[in-house]
Amino acid sequence: MKTVYVRTKTKDEARKRAEWLYMILRDCTPVIADLHTSKAQVVTESMVIKYVPENYTMDGIRCDIAIGFGQLGKIIARENISDDLIDEKELAKYIVDNETISENENIECRR
């Protein structure tokens, strides 16, 4: 399961952006997702997208993709930074692409 961390300014913004991403996935895509408002995260079958406020300490935390962290993103995501996914619509497209790829891999494994 891939983990994606998205940097936000406040905890309230993190919650609102998680809700917005969930609504896009629910209403406009075939991806099945769960929203965890208290954690400001959206969970799909193969990804966890967590919105992290600026005041949250990232000591020892690692992820697959870091968005909006600047130089710190190189450390927590091992050089895998995707600042082009900062918009929820772009992030939703990325999720849909990854979900269909993982779904195709599962079909091939069953054969």
SS3 state at 34? strand
Model confidence pLDDT, tens digit, residues 76-106: 887 677 767 778 899 999 899 888 765 555 4
Q: Which two tokens stand for residue 47?
A: 């990804």
Q: Could you give phi then psi for residue 68, rounded to 5 degrees?
A: 80, 15
Sign (positive or negative) of CA dihedral 45, 47, 53, 58:
positive
Contact 66, 81 (CB under 8 A): yes
The structure tokens listed for 93 are: 């497209």
50 bridge partner residues: 5, 41
What pLDDT, in 10s, does the model give residues 30-64? 999 999 999 999 999 999 999 999 888 777 788 88
